[in-house]
Amino acid sequence: MTVPDAKLQPDILPIAEGWEQAKHVLKHLYRREERWDLVVPKLPSGLRKRALDAGCTLIDRVQEGSDERETLCDTCQKLVQADHDAYYGPAYMQSVRTAPLYKRVGVLKDDAQLQALVGDNAVFVVATRASAGRSAQVISAYRIAPPGRPEQWQPAQFLRKAIDRFKDKTSLAKKAGSP
pLDDT tens string for the chain (179 positions)? 223 343 455 589 999 999 999 999 999 999 999 999 999 999 999 999 999 999 999 998 899 888 788 889 999 999 999 999 999 999 999 999 999 999 999 999 999 999 999 999 999 999 999 988 889 999 999 999 999 888 889 999 999 999 999 999 997 544 444 44
pTM: 0.88
In 2-134, which ranges are continuous DSSP H helix?
19-24, 47-53, 59-63, 74-83, 89-98
The CA distance from 125 to 127, in Å, is: 6
Going from N- to C-terminal start, the domains of the chain cover 8-175
Question: Quick one: three-class SS letters along the chain?
Answer: CECCHHHCCCCEECCCCCHHHHHHHHHHHCCHHHCHHHCCCCCCCCHHHHHHHCCCCCHHHHHCCCCCCCCCCHHHHHHHHHHHHHHHHHHHHHHHHHHHHHCCEEEECCEEEEEEEECCCCCEEEEECCECCECEEEEEEECCCCCCCHHHCCHHHHHHHHHHHHHHHECCHHHCCCC
